[in-house]
Amino acid sequence: MQRLTKEEVFALVDSLDFEVIEFERVRPHNKSEIRRKDSMQRAAFKQMVADAFEDSHQPGGDIELRIPSSNKILVGHHDGIYWLA
C-alpha cells in the first residue's frame, strides 16, 4: 500500500467526469462490514479529504471511491490515510 498525498487524491477526484461524487462509506461491524452509499458535490468531497488530512481523522468511517479510468478504488481510511486498491 502506497499512501497518497492530498494533492494526488485531489488530482484523482478532479479526473472524474462528474460533479457529484458517489462513493461508499464502510464501517466495521462485528465480523462483517456495514456499507452505505453516499454522495456529495466535488468541492465538498475535496474539503472532506482536506479536513481528514489535517485532522488525521475522517468522520463516518472509511470510504471507497471507484476511479473508472484506472479501474482502481480510492480508499480513505478513518485515520486520514488514502491509497489506491
pLDDT at 32 over 90: no
pLDDT of residue 31: 78
pLDDT of residue 1: 77
Provide the grid cell at 22: 458517489
What letter would DSSP give residue 3?
B
Would you call 31 helix, strand, or coil by DSSP?
coil
Stretch 50-79: mean pLDDT:
94
Is the pTM value of this prediction over 0.75? yes
pLDDT at 29 over 90: no
CA angle at 15 for the pair 9 and 17, rounded to the nearest 5°: 135
- Mean pLDDT taken over the chain: 94
Would you call 10 helix, strand, or coil by DSSP?
helix
The tens digit of pLDDT for each residue in 51-60 reads 999 999 998 8
